[in-house]
Amino acid sequence: MTPILKNEHELYFERGGPVYRLMQRIGLIRGDDPSIRRRIVVFLALTWFPLLILSSIDGQALGPTPRQSFLLDFASWVRFFIAVPLLFVAEVVVGPRLTTAGLHFQRAGFVRPEDYPAFDEAIARAVRWRESRLAELIILGLALAGSWTFTTETLYGGKTATWHTLMIAGDSGVRVSLAGLWYRSIAVPILQFFWYRWLWRLIVWMRFLLSVSRLNLDLVPTHADEAGGLGFLGGAHTSFALFAFIISALLSADAAFRIVFENAPIQQFQNTFIALLVIAEFVVLGPLLVFSPMLARIRRAWMREYGLLVVRYNRAFHEKWVGGRAPENEPFLGSADIQSLADLGNSFQFIRAMKLVPFSQKVILQLAVAVAAPALPLLLLVMPIERIFGTLARAVF
């Protein structure tokens, strides 16, 4: 019977925290239901729709230039209708996978009985970090500060006017942009808060993995996943592709704007997406490398032990069937010794094929697809669809 851990029911990463409790108290989240649709509607009601109204009042819903036109800002459409809604969706996609993966260490028997207290403490530590008021206050401070310091104006040295520029020129002189004020004071802080909140939750998960990697896990090098039984971690981290997709979608929207309205060449964004791909692979899969020393150590130990077993069994098999020591009434055909010899050989091959990382090439490819998918529509802006299909056909056939 699998023992029940004291803090087992507290191991989750998508819920909890002061802001989550606040949303429950005001009815935005009802009980344990994540209330994804309700939160998306409320988010849009606090961000995109007020910006549409205020930019119309400012005369910048469709302004004098594309950058001064709220409705022509592709990145804003993606930011408010795709990015943040997907951050909410992540609570039912990413969070449960992390919880299942975290508990799988103990439920699959990888945690030895003497390490149950340490594993329970790792869960308790993750809970304390997740519920930290200080952490969410820092996140809130970063979100509020970032909306005023990391803007298009600071990036371009104040030379490029946009629909969310704080000060705009009117017939009666320079005045405060209502849309710009709401954008910096409300819309962007909300967006950045939920993004930074998820980054913090991922840090909590990575800290939990680091704690578990320090335990003397009872891994199985003959496991069919070729990762000692830890292949489930690669599957759990595949869900992080959702965050890579969000970033790629934002970059693709900005690139599309520059291509359509500023005649930017598509080659200009090639290095950006390559860098994003490399960073995404490293950030998503890098934390799993904490298990590599353990996998290498266990692989060496089992290779040595199984090597000795193979030698003993093969010698005994040779002496019995080749050396003529088999009983006269025991037939060679159909003997269980042959099947045992094959099974032992297969087990040894599994150990030899064991990877030193708990993820497969399939996981690497899935992350690459998540990064590349939002960028593919950019090709339609610069290349006829017939040419695209022709290029793909030549590549495949």
pLDDT, tens only, 42-67: 999 999 999 999 999 988 899 888 98
| pLDDT(255) > 70 | yes
Give CA 221 to chain center in angstroms.
Answer: 27
Given this model, what pLDDT does residue 46 score?
93
pLDDT confidence tier of residue 194, bands split at 50, 70 and 90: very high
Q: Is residue 2 part of a domain?
A: no
* Calpha distance 71→79 (Å, rounded): 13
Q: Is residue 334 part of a domain?
A: no
Total count of domains within the chain: 1
* pLDDT digits 0-9 by tens, 143-175: 998 888 765 555 544 456 788 888 877 666 677
Domain that holds residue 138: 8-297+358-396
Tokens (6 digits) for 374: 């939002």
Question: 124-138, 200-214, 285-299, 317-331: which range is least confident on average?
Answer: 317-331
Q: Is residue 329 part of a domain?
A: no
* Calpha distance 264→363 (Å, rounded): 33
Q: Is residue 18 part of a domain?
A: yes
Q: Is residue 114 part of a domain?
A: yes
Q: Is residue 351 part of a domain?
A: no
Backbone angles phi, psi at 239, to 5 degrees: -65, -20
* pLDDT digits 0-9 by tens, 204-232: 999 999 999 999 999 888 888 888 889 99
* Calpha distance 195→16 (Å, rounded): 15
- The torsion angle over the Cα atoms of residues 139, 145, 151 and 154, rounded to 10 degrees, is -130
Q: Is residue 110 part of a domain?
A: yes
* pLDDT digits 0-9 by tens, 26-41: 989 988 788 899 999 9
Q: Is residue 88 part of a domain?
A: yes
pTM: 0.85
